[in-house]
């Protein structure tokens, strides 16, 4: 049978964003793929060169609509390395809580978007129900629903609001119970199992060589996580282990990637509970914004020759900002900002990974890697 190219996207339910996957098929079997990105390239890196260090944070929020907080934190840690700032411990705990709530919300968004792709619409509604609780918590912290602009260089914008700890504990505990509902919905759904098990095998060594990190890698049976390998924040003071999935001999399939994210949500929920208990000064005390317990004084300028970078564990893998100082004459702006987007590297790998499977497996395999095009195109 003759081979032919099919263009999936830019408008296609599989893409989870705006991009094209060109698929070459022989009958129904995929023999080659070419991903085509850049449909929503906004030039964030160039814009940041003419903004000062505090003005960049909102742009980083907008890199990914599903996990804004992790991206602004990723930038803030790099900027703190550039400007040589040490953050108060209370602020680090608050950041950890904000990032882990965001990680749960992001994984729920992923699960909610993935299930309809492969024929299980019910789980979508359940996932968004719990995501709403997480967004409410983040709204209390940052003041808005999606783009929080929460961290500041040297600390955080605001303390935990009155009663936040109580509401957060209640919601996280309720969430931990409701995870079992997803497991019941999905692990007993024949359609879900048929579509995800045995497709999209990926082996850890190959994934690392291709630059794939994060939950996608841990699904393959290794526990590498930036949060312990290059510790930042206060992850080393809490008792946790990264989620690892026992994959099959051929590597991690779509089902393993689903399991590892489900497990990671539990880990994050437990981290939040521990952080609320361990936060210095107590979770119920409230400091006014600008208090030294929340934010440290930070220089606003970095001279030519200063650089800073930070590897950060994003829900989609390892994200990173590299900043070079000395942008304008006075050093108020960065000279160069460059962003490592985990999905920009993972999408080409996922496209390679689906060669040999059927064309109907494209949404299952692509969705299981959790693509987010906002951060990919920047």
Partner 1 sequence: MGMKVNHEKQVAAANDVITALEAEFSGEGLSCEVRMHAGGKHQRSYVYIDCPPSIWAIVAETLSEVHAVDHCSMITGIHWPEKSPEMEWQVVVHLMRMSVRNPPSNEGIVMPIISDASILQGSDMPLEFEVSIAIPETRNPSIPSVQHVWVGADWNEKETWDLVGIDFEGHNEMRRVLQPHETPAGFHPLQKQHKLRYHEFNEMYDDAQGFARKSEDIGKVK
Q: Which positions from 21 through 60 interact with partner 1, judged by CB under 8 A?
A: 37-38, 41, 43, 45-47, 49-50
Q: Residue 162: name the closest of 141, 146, 147 by CA.
A: 141
Can you tell me the distance from the alpha carbon of 366 to that of 22, in angstroms, rounded to the nearest whole number? 13
Question: Which residues in 319-358 contact partner 1 (CB under 8 A)?
Answer: 320, 322, 324, 335-336, 338, 340, 344-345, 348-349
By beta-carbon proximity to partner 1, the closer residue of 15 and 189 is 15
198 lies in the binding site for partner 1 (CB under 8 A): no
Q: Which stretch binds partner 1 (CB under 8 A): 98-106, 128-136, 223-231, 367-375?
A: 223-231
Q: CB of 207 within 8 A of CB of 255?
A: no
Asked whether position 237 contacts partner 1 by CB under 8 A, the answer is yes
Choose the binding region for partner 1 from 1-9, 132-140, 283-291, 314-322 (rule: CB under 8 A): 314-322
* Residue 240 in contact with partner 1, rule: CB under 8 A: yes
Beta carbon nearer to partner 1, 23 or 298: 298
What binding mask, one character per residue, do residues 269-308 give for partner 1 by CB under 8 A, x or -?
---------------------------------------x
Q: Which of 24, 169, 210, 332 binds partner 1 (CB under 8 A)?
A: 210
> Structure tokens of 125?
């509604």
Should residue 10 be labelled a site residue for partner 1 when binding is judged by CB under 8 A?
no
CB 357 within 8 A of CB 199: yes
The C-alpha angle 178, 181, 183, rounded to 5 degrees, equals 120
Nearer to partner 1, 189 or 319 (CB): 319
State the DSSP string of 85-129: ----HHHHHHHHHHHHHHHHHHHHHHHHHHHHHTT-HHHHHHHHH
Nearer to partner 1, 86 or 132 (CB): 86
* Burial bucket for residue 86 (CB in 10 Å: 0-12, 13-18, 19+): exposed
Q: Give strand pairing partners of 337.
A: 323
Q: Between residues 212 and 262, which has the closer beta carbon with respect to partner 1?
A: 212
Coil, strand or helix: which one is 346? helix
């Amino acid at each position: 049978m003759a081979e032919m190219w099919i263009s999936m996207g830019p408008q296609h339910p599989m893409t989870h964003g705006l991009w094209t996957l060109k698929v070459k098929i022989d009958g129904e079997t995929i023999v080659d793929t070419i991903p085509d990105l850049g449909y929503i390239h906004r030039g964030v890196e160039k814009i940041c060169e003419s903004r000062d260090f505090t003005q960049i944070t909102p742009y980083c929020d907008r890199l990914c609509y599903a996990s804004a907080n992790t991206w602004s934190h990723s930038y803030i840690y790099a900027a703190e390395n550039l400007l040589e700032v040490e953050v108060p411990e209370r602020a680090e705990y608050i950041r950890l809580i904000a990032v882990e709530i965001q990680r749960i919300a992001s994984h729920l968004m992923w699960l909610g978007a993935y299930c309809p792709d492969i024929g299980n619409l019910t789980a979508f509604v359940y996932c968004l129900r719990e995501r709403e609780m997480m967004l409410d918590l983040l709204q209390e912290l940052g003041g808005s629903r999606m783009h929080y602009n929460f961290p500041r260089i040297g600390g955080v914008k605001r303390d935990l609001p009155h009663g936040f700890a109580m509401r957060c504990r209640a919601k996280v505990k309720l969430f931990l119970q409701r995870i079992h509902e997803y497991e019941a919905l999905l692990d007993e759904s024949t359609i879900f199992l048929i579509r995800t098990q045995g497709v999209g095998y990926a082996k850890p060594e190959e994934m690392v060589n291709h630059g794939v990190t994060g939950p996608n890698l841990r699904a393959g049976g290794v526990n590498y996580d930036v949060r312990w390998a290059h510790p930042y924040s206060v992850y080393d003071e809490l008792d946790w282990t990264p989620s690892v999935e026992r994959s099959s001999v051929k590597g991690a399939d779509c089902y393993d990637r689903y399991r590892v994210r489900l497990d990671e949500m539990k880990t994050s929920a437990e981290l939040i509970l521990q952080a609320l208990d361990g936060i210095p000064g107590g979770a119920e005390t409230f400091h006014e914004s600008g208090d030294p317990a929340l934010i440290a004084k930070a220089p606003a300028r970095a001279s030519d020759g200063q650089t800073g970078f930070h590897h950060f564990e994003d829900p989609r893998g390892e994200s990173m900002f590299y900043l070079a100082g000395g942008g304008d004459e006075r050093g108020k702006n960065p000279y160069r900002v460059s962003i490592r987007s985990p999905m920009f590297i993972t999408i080409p790998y996922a496209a390679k990974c689906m060669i040999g499977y059927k064309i109907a497996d494209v949404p299952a395999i692509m969705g299981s890697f959790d693509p987010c095009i906002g951060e990919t195109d920047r």
